Amino acid sequence: MEGFLGASYLWVKAAHLIFVIFWIAGLFMLPRFYIYHQPVVPGSAEDRLWVERERRLRTIIITPAMILVWIFGLALAFNIGAFSEGWFHAKLAAVIALSAYHGWAVGYGRKLARGYRPASDKALRWMNEIPGIATAVIVILVIVRPF
């Protein structure tokens, strides 16, 4: 492959996909954790266990994976000159939206840790669908490149 990545292009692409899988898997798990954590009595032993599980998922898996997705993804985009492609603009918008969702999820976990439960169970269940929808949209944009 041409571009500044040269022979390492496929390795960077593989790394990008690996960390996308880690990030999305974590984003599937975290809202589910919140659904189970929500009814627990704030300050209880069970509450503290959920807070720790969620913190570990965010700090060990999800956030590092998101950062690496962005690093490898931008390297790939610059390498192939994707910034002039319509499909890439749509993908970039979807990834930005997914990153915003990630930020919401981190913030919601901090609220739960403080004993605040602002969302209903139904709202959390709907929020749990966002990573799957975003993944489907992004995969279609990258593989099909409809525009």
What are the binding residues for heme? Answer: 16, 91
Contact 138, 42 (CB under 8 A): no
Tokens 């930005």 map to which residue?
Answer: 96
The tokens describing 3, both together, are 């571009």
Q: Looking at the chain, list the stretches that DSSP marks H as alpha helix, in order from N- to C-terminal side.
A: 9-37, 45-56, 63-80, 86-113, 121-127, 130-144
Binding residues: 16, 91
Residue 2, classed as helix, strand or coil, is coil
> Cβ of 81: how many Cβ atoms within 10 Å?
10
Distances (CA, A) of 40 to 1, 9, 16, 47: 53, 47, 37, 6
What's the count of helices (H) and strands (E) in the chain, helices before strands? 6, 0
